[in-house]
Every structure is written in C-alpha cells, then in structure tokens.
Chains A and B, each alone.
Chain A
C-alpha cells in the first residue's frame, strides 16, 4: 500500500508537470520524461506483482492525458518495467548509471514504439525529424534520473520501504 501511494504521488506530480509545462514553454524536449524514470525505478528495485500492476496503472493514467489510443502508454510503460526487471535479475549491479542508461534508451524506444503501434511501422521511418528533440529529451531524462532515483530512495526509506531489489 505504501509503495502504491508513493508511486501514485510521484505519478500525479509527473503527469501534472508534463501536461501543464508544455503549455507554458513551447520547447517540449526540455521536459524530462518522469513517467519512464518511475517505471525504471519500479523495474529495478521492486520485484513484485504489485510493482508490475503499478507500472501498468501509471501507463494507463498517462493514457488519460496523452495520445488517442488508450492502452498504448500502459503497454510501453509495462514493457519498460519488464525489461528493467529482467536486466536487474541478470546484472550484479543496477546503480544510477545503469538506471540512467536504461532511461535514455527507454525514452527513445517508448516514443518510437508508441509511433509504430499508433501510426504503423512505416511512420517510424518518416519520423526522423523528431529524433534530435527526442534524443535531447532522452538525454535530459537520463541526467536527472539519478536525482529522481535518490529522491525516491529517500522517500522509501522514510516510509519504511526496501530501497534495494526485494522479492515478494
């Protein structure tokens, strides 16, 4: 329950910023993808069915504010959770650097995957013009990811949740 409340709180903050700020600042790539960062943290540090459901719920909540195909972000965020879960099950170390790297590729793959599913695979080939801004957003997300992980870890410690991977 504490895990659900914590991530629900961060997801609301993330979605509020991601929906309100682009309306004020026209340059969208300057806004990091906080939802992907949350999914990566869930996949790396919470090996439970609750975490999987939470990743799906965060993605489905994102669908309420993004895109025209409900389920698309739920799919991509659950997929990121699954990839991170698999990585952390196999790697000895899942530190902030690994997290930031996964966030970088996660942001790019989420975007391209969402375009491929909603507009067809051929649309990915035509989306070259969005790559520079997408790479910038992925880079910024990767830079702030360790900070967000640290804030999450501090909050988890404060409410008595495990910070390192723990199985149910």
Chain B
C-alpha cells in the first residue's frame, strides 16, 4: 500500500536490512566456495584485464620517461643522432626492463629450488582499493593451481597469503596488514613469537617473554608451525625492543624484509609445507 508505513520508509528499511546483511558477512566471514564468495570472484575476474592493461601501460610509460631522461643529455647533438639515440635508448629501457624481470624470475626460481616445494610465479597487477588494508592483486588464479591460504614469497622474504581467488586473479593479504599474523622466531636467540601487522606501517613481534635476549638488528624468520609458510624464511629484522612499561611481554618493532611497494613478481607456494606430523611419521 503506497501510503503505508513500510512504503513510506522503504529506502530506510532496505538500507537498514543491507547494513544488517553486511555486518552478518563481516562477523561470520565469507569462505571460499560460499555463495557470497561468488560475486567477489566475479568482480576480481572483471577487473583483472583492466588492471593488467594498466600495469602494461605504466611499464611503457616508464620506458618512455626513461628514454626522455636519457635524451636530455644529448640535446646538442644533431637530429639524426638524437633519433638514433632515442631508438637505442628506448630499446635499452625495454631490455633493461626485461633484464630486471628476468633477474626477478631467476631469483624466484632459485628460491623455489632451494625450498624444494612446488610453486608458481605471478605478476603483481594491483593494490588494495581503499589503501586501509595491505593487499595485492596477482595475475594468477585458480586456473594456475592457486588456492586460498597458500603462502606468497619473494626473493627478499615472506610476502603474505592468498585470501581470495578467481580463475585468473587472486588477492594476497600482506604480512604487514593489521589482520595478518604468522608464527616466527628470532634466529639468534631462538625466542618465538607471533609476527603481526599494524594499522600504519611495519610489523610487531608479540608474546615474547621479557626475559628473552632480543636485540635490534636480529633476523626474524618463519617457524613453519602455522602450516602456511615454510620454516626459515626471512620475515624482517628487529628495529626496536622496548623493555619499559607494564605487561608480561616485550614490545618489539620489526622492519619487513620485503619492500611491498616495489614488488613486481612473487612466488606462490602451491604445495603445503611439511607439517610436524608428517615429519614424525617420516
């Protein structure tokens, strides 16, 4: 009925119901394979070609800028030489880009061989849409054998884990996100703790007893006990250790080993790392 309470307040009521639905999704979580996960996978798939195209455009733009910067130094030279130099410089920039990419992939291959686990290389094609969380979009998805929960690494150390997937794209929750945590230990003192992200930048090591001898500059590596990341991978180095203040545990700041902003290629471990049970059985 058009004059009724429900009709008059239909926008308010619809928005209210949608708010309740959103809160329900936040509190219960959306698991891979759920009906609610399908639109997410679809959105990821729709935007993947656009992100990949934008990533390619940016690489070309970078090459052009590099070429231009090189040209500034040879302005006095004649037109023929400048044209020739531009061509050479452009080729050089393209080759340098290819060489850098080749270098990254070689390092990732080396890492995969060292780990002795099955892994897939993927390109980084996007970042978090809001910037409040620390996530990345990769160019590989379920068709490449990727699954949610898989570990993502780079030659510099641990990057994060896959949280969402579509056939040809996936999203990685970086280890410095405030919702991320992994089991790690200090390589020198062997003190164990939980490495967690914070809202702004960097990492913290939680639940380390005050009696432990941790020092600035110590390397923090993965313990492998979380069942996601293989043991012994670099997470970062200790930046600060605060012993002052109340509480049972030390307050430890960590500088991540990986520069997340400059990541171009990553390695996704498609094989689960050996578990404690397997070792005992073996």
Per-position 1/0 for A68-88, Cβ under 8 A of B: 111111110011011001000
Most buried by B among A52, A65, A73, A85: A65
Contacts of A59 in B (CB 8 A): 22
Instruction: Please count how many residues in chain B sit with their CB below 8 Å of the partner chain's CB atoms.
Output: 55
In whole angstroms, what is the CA distance A118 to B130 when docked? 14
Of all chain B residues, which has the CB nearest A36? B130
Contacts of A51 in B (CB 8 A): 11
- In the complex, whether B74 has a CB less than 8 A from a CB of chain A is no
Task: Mark the stretch among B151-159, B173-181, B273-281 that contacts chain A.
Answer: B173-181
Q: B11's contact among A12, A48, A129, by CB below 8 Å, is which?
A: A48
- In the complex, whether B127 has a CB less than 8 A from a CB of chain A is yes
B50 and A65: CB pair below 8 A? no
Contacts of A117 in B (CB 8 A): 26
Interface residues on A, range: 35 or more
CB distance from A108 to the nearest CB of B (A): 11
- In the complex, whether B69 has a CB less than 8 A from a CB of chain A is no
Most buried by B among A51, A69, A114, A130: A69
B54 and A20: CB pair below 8 A? yes
A66 and B130: CB pair below 8 A? yes
B132 and A67: CB pair below 8 A? yes
B11 and A68: CB pair below 8 A? no
Per-position 1/0 for A13-55, Cβ under 8 A of B: 0011011111110101001010100000000000111011101
Most buried by A among B12, B18, B163: B18
Task: Mark the stretch among A90-98, A119-127, A146-154, A155-163 that contacts chain B.
Answer: A119-127
In whole angstroms, what is the CA distance A22 to B129 when docked? 9
Known: A64-B43, A65-B126. 13 other contacts (CB 8 A): A12-B50, A15-B129, A18-B130, A18-B131, A56-B21, A65-B135, A66-B132, A67-B130, A71-B21, A71-B22, A72-B22, A73-B130, A114-B132
